[in-house]
């Protein structure tokens, strides 16, 4: 297939990675977003490149915990009750996807996306001269009790089946590699494949700058309309920039992607899984890797801006005001793990982002079923940074007519 001009809506890690791989394949690319590259979810995520996380977030063991979590407004998963009627179809679909046969299918899809995640990251960062942004040290998981460690054995078995072995560490080994951690953990474990980046926003801006140096175009503007002629998208109308003709279009607009998919006639169940972070710029501790802790679904990541604590899920729609208590509630869990961690003060920063989540936890990657020159790359939930470069490569292969070694039917837009 000959090179063409491809427009990408969305300048986060998915959109910028897609543009970068398309450019490498010889295409002319234009990226459009309301905000600058890396200013959406890519700005404030936990920074984990968690390619070993093949087990779905929603599975039978977790499903049983959800009712209790929902009763706690500051718990790991919460929903603002006024929003429940709108989110109910998503939650019902998520429950169906916790059935064993669906969990196996979803696990296979996650494993396929993780298989080349690091090499795809390396491709883009090497081209941009920034390989140091990806730190290839495995994340450490911490357990208070032996029972907690045993309870996760089913997930470890699945990981091992896919080539990821969670190596157990004794309390002494934990203290040796991370001296600032508490000394009373029952045990720890390496995740088997969970690296981190020094700053996710910098990752995106660095790749974007390389894209522009090589002739790519990035526009900070808002798409207010997509004009269609039959089964083709023919033009975009921008708020500031007027009309721009289209050759081919890729939608990588995160939690806002459903606005476009609906317009094109593709039905997608997509919700904004709102996550929070708290950054302590001078934490008073030293970490050589990222951490997770069994008592809370969050990550603690050393970054160039300080220690970032990030996690939790809140369902409240796109526009509801943030609940900053959900950021502050991360600190006690970090303090338990890191006794010398400094208290929250006026220098700490808080952030809320809207992760685009599908009820099966898998992204939409592939062509529209209704519009012949539109493709999608969105819905990565908690795994956007991890799967972003691979999504970009897969979309580039599709739009270039190259044969893929990945079964893409799992990610089709008409599966909902």
Q: Tell me if 153 sits within 8 A of 110, measured CB to CB.
A: no
Please state, in angstroms and rounded to a whole number, the distance separating the CA atoms of residues 23 and 5.
Answer: 10
Give the pLDDT score at 88.
92
Q: How many residues does the chain have?
A: 416
End-to-end CA separation in angstroms for the chain: 30
Q: Measured between alpha carbons, how far is residue 337 from residues 185, 186, 345 in Å? A: 9, 12, 19
292 φ/ψ angles, rounded to the nearest 5 degrees: -130, 155
Please state, in angstroms and rounded to a whole number, the distance separating the CA atoms of residues 375 and 29.
Answer: 14
Cα Rg of the chain (Å, integer) = 21
Q: Tell me if 27 sits within 8 A of 4, measured CB to CB.
A: yes
Nearest partner of 312 among 340, 293, 337, judged by Cα: 293
Q: Would you give the DSSP letter of residue 344? A: P
Structure tokens that stand for 193 in this block? 């494949």
Give the tens place of pLDDT for each residue, 92-105: 999 899 888 999 99
> In the chain, what's the furthest Cα-to-Cα distance?
67
Give the DSSP H/E element, type plus range, for residue 196.
Answer: strand 195-197
Q: Measured between alpha carbons, how far is residue 403 from residues 395, 399, 407 in Å? A: 11, 10, 11
Please state, in angstroms and rounded to a whole number, the distance separating the CA atoms of residues 222 and 305.
Answer: 29
- Quickly list DSSP for 102-167: HHHHHHHHHHHHHTTHHHHHHHHHHHTT-GGGEE----EEEESSHHHHHHTHHHHHHHHHTT----
Give the pLDDT score at 60.
66
Strand partners, 6: 29, 248
Q: Tell me if 143 sits within 8 A of 416, measured CB to CB.
A: no
Over its length of 416 residues, how does the chain's per-residue pLDDT go in tens digits? 677 999 999 999 999 999 999 999 999 999 999 999 999 999 999 999 999 999 998 776 666 666 666 667 787 888 888 998 999 999 999 989 988 899 999 999 999 999 999 999 999 999 999 999 999 999 999 999 999 999 999 999 999 999 999 999 999 999 999 999 999 999 999 999 999 999 999 999 999 999 999 999 999 999 999 999 989 999 999 999 999 999 999 999 999 999 999 999 999 999 999 999 999 999 999 999 999 999 999 999 999 999 999 998 999 999 999 999 999 999 999 999 999 999 999 999 999 999 999 999 999 999 999 999 999 999 999 999 999 999 999 999 999 999 998 999 999 999 99
Give the DSSP H/E element, type plus range, for residue 213.
Answer: helix 200-213
Q: Would you give the DSSP letter of residue 14? A: H
Domains of the chain and CATH, by start: 5-415 (3.50.50.60)
Give the pLDDT score at 212.
98
Structure tokens that stand for 249 in this block? 């279009």
Structure tokens that stand for 361 in this block? 């936890």
Please state, in angstroms and rounded to a whole number, the distance separating the CA atoms of residues 312 and 294.
Answer: 13
Using CA atoms of 172, 176, 181, 185 in order, give the dihedral in degrees to the nearest 10.
Answer: -20
Please state, in angstroms and rounded to a whole number, the distance separating the CA atoms of residues 31 and 15.
Answer: 7
């Amino acid at each position: 297939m000959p090179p063409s001009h491809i427009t990408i809506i969305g300048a986060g890690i998915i959109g910028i990675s897609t543009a970068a791989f398309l450019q490498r394949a010889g295409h002319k690319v234009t990226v459009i977003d309301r905000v600058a590259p890396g200013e959406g979810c890519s700005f404030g995520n936990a920074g984990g490149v968690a390619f070993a996380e093949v087990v779905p977030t929603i599975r039978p063991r977790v499903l049983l915990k959800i009712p209790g979590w929902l009763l706690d407004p500051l718990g790991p998963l919460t929903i603002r009750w006024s929003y429940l009627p709108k989110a109910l179809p998503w939650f019902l679909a998520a429950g169906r996807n916790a059935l064993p046969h669906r969990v196996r299918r979803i696990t296979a899809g996650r494993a396929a996306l993780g298989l080349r995640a690091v090499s795809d990251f390396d491709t883009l960062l090497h081209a941009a001269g920034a390989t140091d942004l990806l730190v290839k040290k495995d994340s450490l998981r911490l357990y208070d009790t032996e029972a907690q460690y045993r309870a996760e054995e089913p997930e470890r078995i699945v990981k091992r089946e896919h080539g990821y072995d969670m190596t157990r560490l004794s309390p002494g080994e934990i203290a040796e590699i991370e001296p600032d951690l508490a000394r009373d953990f029952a045990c720890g474990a390496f995740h088997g494949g969970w690296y981190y980046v020094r700053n996710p926003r910098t990752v995106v801006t660095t790749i974007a700058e390389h894209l522009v140096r090589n002739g790519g175009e990035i526009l900070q503007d808002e798409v207010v309309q997509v004009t269609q002629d039959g089964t083709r998208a023919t033009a975009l109308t921008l708020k500031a920039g007027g009309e721009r003709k289209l050759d081919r279009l890729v939608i990588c607009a995160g939690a806002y992607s459903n606005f476009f998919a609906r317009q094109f006639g593709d039905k997608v169940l997509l919700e904004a899984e709102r996550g929070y972070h708290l950054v302590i710029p001078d934490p008073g501790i030293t970490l050589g890797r990222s951490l997770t802790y069994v008592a809370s679904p969050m990550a603690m990541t050393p970054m160039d801006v300080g220690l970032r604590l990030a996690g939790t899920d809140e369902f409240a729609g796109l526009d509801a005001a943030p609940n900053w208590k959900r950021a502050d509630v991360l600190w006690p869990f970090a303090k338990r793990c890191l006794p010398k961690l400094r208290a929250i003060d006026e220098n700490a920063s808080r952030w809320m982002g809207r992760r685009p989540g599908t009820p099966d936890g898998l992204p939409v990657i592939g062509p529209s079923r209704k519009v012949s020159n539109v493709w999608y790359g969105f819905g990565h939930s908690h795994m956007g940074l991890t799967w972003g470069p691979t999504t970009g490569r897969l979309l580039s292969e599709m739009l270039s007519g190259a044969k893929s070694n990945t079964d893409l039917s799992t990610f089709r837009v008409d599966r909902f």
